[in-house]
């Protein structure tokens, strides 16, 4: 399991072994707070990998990409745009 704080989001990248496909499936949990309340978003596993570290690394990077696309603090404020 790989976890880290990224832009005020806590990302947990993990992997579970799938014996049916003889491969590792990544999963991502992203946690953050809005107005003092914890929010959680889960990204489902869609790919498989031959090694656990590879799957966990992919999961963590997928979490970072999700944060970059959804983090309101990095998007321009439409009210103040000229």
| Domain assignment of residue 7, yes or no | yes
| pLDDT at residue 75, rounded to an integer | 52
pTM of the model: 0.78
Q: Note down the domain range covering 66.
A: 2-70
| Domain assignment of residue 81, yes or no | no
Place of tokens 């491969």: 23
| pLDDT at residue 71, rounded to an integer | 83
Please report, in tens digits, the pLDDT of each residue of the chain (82 residues total): 888 899 989 999 999 999 998 999 999 999 998 888 899 999 987 899 999 999 999 999 999 999 999 886 655 444 544 4
| Domain assignment of residue 82, yes or no | no
| Domain assignment of residue 75, yes or no | no
Return the C-alpha torsion angle 15, 18, 19, 22, nearest 10.
Answer: -80
| Domain assignment of residue 79, yes or no | no
Q: What is the CATH number of the domain that holds 9?
A: 3.30.160.350
| Domain assignment of residue 31, yes or no | yes
| Domain assignment of residue 42, yes or no | yes
Chain centre to alpha carbon of residue 32: 11
């Amino acid at each position: 399991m790989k976890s880290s704080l990224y832009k005020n989001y806590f990302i947990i990248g993990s992997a579970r072994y799938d014996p049916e496909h003889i491969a590792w499936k990544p999963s991502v949990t992203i946690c953050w707070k809005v107005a003092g309340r914890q929010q959680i978003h889960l990204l489902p596993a869609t790919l498989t990998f031959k090694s656990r570290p590879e799957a966990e690394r992919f999961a963590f990077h997928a979490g970072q990409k999700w944060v970059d696309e959804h983090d309101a603090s990095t998007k321009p404020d439409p009210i103040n745009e000229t």
